Every structure is written in structure tokens, then in C-alpha cells.
Amino acid sequence: MLSINRASTAEEPASLLEHFAPFREHTIGGRHVISTPYGRHPLLYADWTASGRLYEPIERKIQEMFGPYVSNPHTESNTTGLTMTLAYNEARKIIKNHVNAGPGDALLFCGNGTTGAVNKLQRLMGLKLPEWLREDYLCAPEDRPVIFVSHMEHHSNLLPWQEGIGDVVTVPAGADGTADLRELERLLMLYRNRRFKIGSFTACSNVTGIHIPYHRLAAAMHRHGGVCFVDFAACAPYASINMHQADPLEKLDAIFFSPHKFLGGPGTGGVLLFDSGLSRGQLPDEPGGGTVVWVDAWGGRRYIHSVEVREDSGTPGFLQAFRTALCLKLKEAMNGDGGFMLAREQQLCSRLLTGLHSIPGCTILAGEHTRRHGIVSFNLEDIHYNLVVRLLNDRFGIQARGGCSCAGPYGHHLLGLDRELSREFIQAIHAGDQSRKPGWVRLSLHPIMTDGEVEFMIHAVHSIVRHISVWRQDYRYNRSTNSWVHPADEAGNEAAVSGLFAL
């Protein structure tokens, strides 16, 4: 194993290093060692944009403080039910306060992250029909909602709108690499006769870490009689969120994020906060327990008026809600008196960008933009991105991610793919050959990481470039799965995983 020091370097600012040290110390897996075909390596997690890590004090609190009282909420007649009901309500307050939600804003928990939150909002707004009904009930073009998105969207904030009843319009990129505000204004004038105008924009790209001036986009939407939704999935673990700025035009009518991406957040669902006036019906999206005032024996029923209560049907994921509130409190503690998280993230990201720029044949996507969250995607000349990810894992223990990051259209923009070339790739994929499927390697950082770990990642990428001709020979490429297979993969993996479930 390489003896490079991953813990720290002399250049690290002592104040921020010391501030994040206890948070790093309590992160589960920080000292874990993994076995690979080339021996055992300390695990270095650099996949924070995909999911966060468990945090020992949160796990202990859920087990020891909440655990003894776990029971179904929705009752105040016994100690356990009352405790869970009060704790669930307190968790909701913490979440709302964190994003400066207003009294008219509703909070819902959605099982499968931001994707679930966006789809839930669509259904509440009446913007989604079953596929088999669409042709019969499709509105005339002039009556359809128009949804403006940026060119940077993750699929979770794009595909649901494309499969709804509205028309999706992409705002082109501006010179700064984000959505062009003047183009949005032009498009709003072009679609001024549409009765319902929605802007749904990512706050930050999960590919490049570039952030969008979403409050300015919100002001433009409101000036033209529209509403504005923001997807905070990629940056909510680090950035401040304010649904209600001093200028009412900059209000965010709905926001969504995935707290599983936070430190301490894995195991949570998606979070949706929205102006309750956006919900257009009186019937719950998921009728069932907890949604009614009464039900009689002859088919009569009355549903609860409050959309926030009515849409929280069944037994709520109260432990997920507690965990969400706790990881938001943890985020606030890490931020200290100011933007400590963003400051540290920028230091680490600058070091990573500088190091990758120095590697021959390394192309950083949108590498000219240095003011970004700690998300860096790149390609190495003549080396498949999934092989790079595999080698980072097998040779160095580094957990990265390869592929298109569920951001296909943005990938086309970043890689300069035209329609003809894209069609060639699609035809090959349909024929079972994924070898030409575009993608990249993504490294994502967290403020608890050290400069030494970033230097180790740079060293690892540099080593792959130097030794690829030899290291490549140990792997076989599978065109149908777009993956690189090592002979050692065939033994022991399934048995090791099944052992995790032994009680």
C-alpha cells in the first residue's frame, strides 16, 4: 500500500481543520479498510453527491433516545404514542425553520428522494395523468402549462415534467455556464399567453457543482405571473436555503431535496416543501389512514382540509423525519457562525481542480468554472471512465462514481454531442452495446475531508495515467453492462454480502 499521508498536510488552515476534526472523527466508516484484488486499502469516500455517510452520534441518539419510545404516532393517550407524535411535530418544525418556510408552506416526506418529491408535487397540482389517459385528456397547446428548466437538470427534475401534461422548455446556457436570465425573460414573453407558467431549476449541478442564481430566476418567473421551484438535491448538505427572501419576488414556491446526501442522512426519504395553495384538489393523493375526519358505514367520508395533514397518510416515516431533522442540526453545527462548510469545500475543490489540471490528458468538465461546490467530473484521454473508477477502487480504495450522473442532456452540452452523434450512440445501446455510452468520472468532496486525502486522489489519478497500459490488462470489458470485470470478481462477493444479513 502507498504510504502517502492522507490525514493532513502542512498547508491546511488550522482553524477549519480543527473545526471539522470532531465531525470527521464521528463519521462511520472513516477508518474502514476494504479488500480489493490488489490487497487491503483504507476506504476513502469521494461519492458524497450520490449519498452521505452515517454519523455515529445520530445513530446513537436514534437508538438510545428515540428507540425506547418507538411506536405509531397519531395518538396522545399513551406515553410512547405521545412522545412520537410530539417528536414528529418537532422534527417538522426544525426542517421548516432550516429553510425559512412560511406559515402557508406545507412539508411532506416522499419515500424515494427528490424524484419522489417532484412527482408528488406534480400529482398534487394535477399535472400528471396515467399514460393510457393522456391522448384522450390532453389539453389544447394554448391551455397546457409550460415548464421552464435549465440545461443542467438532473433527470429527477426533468423526466417527471416531460411525462406530465405540460410543455417543457429548456433555458439555454449563459456565458457563466448557468441558465441565461435574459433568455428566460425572452421565453417568458414568448409564452406570455400560457395561463400556467412554472420554472423548475436545479440550485446546483450534480455533475459540475456549478450553482444557478435561482432567486433571480424566481423573480423573473413571478414578474411574468409564474411560479418557481428549486431542486436543492446536490447542494442542500452545504448551502443555506431560504424560501422567503426579503424581496417577495424572489420567493421559492416549492423546494425539494434528498437528505440522504447529508452527513448523517442515509436512510431518509425525500423532502418537499411547497406553497399549500399549489395543491388544486380536496382529495388526498393517497387516500387511507390518517386522511379523514370521519368515514361512515354507507360510503360517506370527509377528508381533512389541511393539505399537509391530508397528504401525510398512513403511518409516517417518523424515524426518517427524526433523522432528517438531526442531520440538518448537524449541518448547522458544522457551519458554525458563518459559512464554514462552503469555505472549506472551496479550499478542497480548488486543490482538486489544480491537481487534475496538471495531469496530462485529463479534461475537467466545465473546468474553467472554479467557483463551485465540491463536485468535479473529468475524463482521461483513451481510458474508459468506468475503468478509471474501478482502478481508483481496486488500487487505492477511493470510492468515486462513473457514468452520466443521471444528467443526460447536460452531458450532451458538456461533451458537445450533436443530434447525429447522439442518435448513433442510442442505436448502439438499443443493439446491446453500451461501449459508446458517454460518461465521466465524478469525485465529490465534503468539508470533513483533509487536504491530504485530496492530494491522494490526485496522486491516484496521475498513477492511473502512468500505468494504464499495464493495469488495463487485468480487466475484461463487458459491452452489454458497460463494466470492467476482474477475474477476482467471480469469487466471494455474493457470499460476503449475504453474510451482512446474518443475525
With beta carbons less than 8 A apart as the criterion, state whether 241 and 100 touch.
yes
pLDDT at position 26 is: 98
pLDDT tens-digit readout, 417-454: 999 999 999 999 999 999 989 999 999 999 999 999 99
SS3 call for 371: coil
Rounded mean pLDDT, 6-17:
57
pLDDT at position 359 is: 98
For residue 46, the one-letter residue type is A
Residues 6+ apart with CB under 8 A from 406: 154, 155, 156, 206
pLDDT tens-digit readout, 369-399: 999 999 999 999 999 999 999 999 999 999 9
Rounded distance between C-alpha atoms, residue 398 and residue 454, angstroms? 11
pLDDT tens-digit readout, 170-211: 999 999 999 999 999 999 999 999 999 999 999 999 999 999
pLDDT at position 492 is: 64
Whole-prediction pTM: 0.94
Q: Which domains does the chain have, with CATH numbers?
A: 14-53+338-495 (3.90.1150.10), 70-333 (3.40.640.10)
SS3 call for 329: helix
pLDDT at position 155 is: 97
292-295 and 301-303 strand pairing:
antiparallel
Tell whether the model's pLDDT for residue 132 goes beyond 90: no
Helices marked H in 125-213: 134-137, 159-162, 181-190
Rounded distance between C-alpha atoms, residue 173 and residue 205, angstroms? 13
Rounded mean pLDDT, 270-278:
98
With beta carbons less than 8 A apart as the criterion, state whether 396 and 456 touch.
yes
| Per-residue confidence band for 501, with pLDDT thresholds at 50, 70 and 90 | confident
| Per-residue confidence band for 491, with pLDDT thresholds at 50, 70 and 90 | low
Rounded distance between C-alpha atoms, residue 458 and residue 71, angstroms? 48
Rounded distance between C-alpha atoms, residue 148 and residue 224, angstroms? 13
Residues 6+ apart with CB under 8 A from 430: none
Nearest to 353 by CA among 371, 335, 337, 336: 371
